[in-house]
Amino acid sequence: MNMLSKVGLVTGATRGIGRATAQHLLNQGFQLAVIGRNADLLEEWKAQGVLALPADVGDASQVDQAVKMVLEHYGRIDAVVNNAGITRDGLLMRMTDDDWESVLNTNLTGVFNVCRAVVRPMLKQRSGKIVNVASVVGISGNAGQVNYAASKAGIIGLTKSLAKEVASRNILVNAVAPGYIDTDMTRALTAEQRQLMLQHIPLQRTGKPEDVAKLVGFLVSEDNQYITGQVIRCDGGLMI
Ligand code: NDP
């Protein structure tokens, strides 16, 4: 099968890392579907011939419907990138139920919803690649982010477990753990927080969304035949 007949799905593709990843897969020749919430930004994908589906990844019925539409449109699903994610930072003692639940629902339940919806067609195909976007914070923890770090650590456990469940059917499941990548999410940091972070990055610069996109692109490509259940950091050396 050549890349032109490969079908990819990227969640949270309207901005940042998801947008760069979707563009990279499109450039690699994937037939592409994206999931997002912003109707205007989804229109931009439609203009490129992409199947752009409005859905909230935290809502299982919306995810099931979107995956159904991918299968109806393309007939198969080869590569899935679970990228959609949010932050609601604050110290635990001041964190509201909503801060906790919304982050866990989007970041972790969202990955569960999409994986559950795509695994069945992948099992039938006896092939597939899933990449879940975690974070270095899911490995190291971070003060002020108990909700976000718990969601990302959860993604790592989900990734390793699912990799074991589906390996016998030739489905490879990995996670990437970005460090500090320049997107809307990190632009919210103050200049002081940014400077402090840069001091700890051996490459002395922030990452670009494309840096993560290229790593994800490799993991879902034909070049990856024997890497599964891994958490691969893309962090400029932050976690060395
Ligand atoms: P952005 O805030 O720039 O983009 C997040 C994307 O996710 C947007 O397209 C957003 O869509 C989408 N999204 C959010 N919630 C939902 C939802 N419920 N359903 C569907 N789509 C949703 O973030 P980044 O690009 O920086 O982050 C992408 C991923 O990378 C996240 O999982 C994040 O945790 C992870 N990450 C980022 C790092 C960084 O330094 N930037 C570091 C480590 C991990 P909408 O336009 O609708 O809001």
Each domain of the chain, given as residue ranges in start order, spans 3-234
Span from the CA of 197 to the centroid of ligand 1 (angstroms): 20
Residues pairing with 54 in the sheet = 36
Nearest residue to 222 via CA among 128, 133, 131, 134: 128
Residue 58, both tokens: 């935290």
| All residues at 6 or more sequence positions from 44 whose CB lies less than 8 Å from its CB, including other chains | none
Q: Which residue owns the Cα nearest ligand 1 atom 31?
A: 85
Length of the chain: 240
Tell which one of 23, 37, 151 to mutate to probe ligand 1, the residue whose CB is within 8 A of the most ligand atoms.
37
DSSP letter for 55, please: -
Rounded Cα–Cα distance for residues 210 and 218 (Å): 12
CB 90 within 8 Å of CB 99:
yes
Distance 87 CA to ligand 1 centre (A): 8
3-234 topology per CATH: Rossmann fold (3.40.50)
Q: Is 197 helix (H, G, I), strand (E, B) or coil?
A: helix
The angle formed by the CA atoms of residues 45, 158 and 184, to the nearest 5 degrees, is 40
For tokens 């990799």, name the residue: 163
Q: In what order do the strands lie in the sheet with 31-36?
A: 51-54, 31-36, 7-11, 79-82, 128-133, 171-178, 231-234
**Which residues line ligand 1 at a C-beta cut-off of 6 Å?**
11-12, 14-18, 35-38, 56-58, 83-86, 106, 110, 133, 135, 178, 180-181, 183-186
Provide block-wise average pLDDT over 10 residues at a time, the chain (240 residues).
77 98 98 97 97 98 98 98 98 98 98 98 98 98 97 99 98 98 91 91 97 98 98 97
Q: Look at residues 87, 86, 196, 174 and name the one whose alpha carbon lies nearest to residue 128.
A: 174
**Looking at residue 193, what is its pLDDT?**
87
- DSSP-assigned letters across all residues of 63-106: HHHHHHHHHHHHS---EEEE---------GGG--HHHHHHHHII
At position 238, the amino acid (one-letter code) is L
Beta bridge partners of 35: 11, 53
Say how many Å lie between the CA of residue 168 and the centre of ligand 1: 31
Residue 148 designated active-site: yes
Select from 141, 145, 79 the least CA-distant residue to 114. Answer: 79
- Select from 10, 11, 17, 80 the residue to mutate for testing ligand 1; criterion: most ligand atoms less than 8 Å from CB: 17
Instruction: Give burial (CB, 10 Å; 0-12/13-18/19+) of 227.
Output: middle
How many C-beta neighbours within 10 Å does residue 213 have? 25
Q: Give the amino acid at 121.
A: P
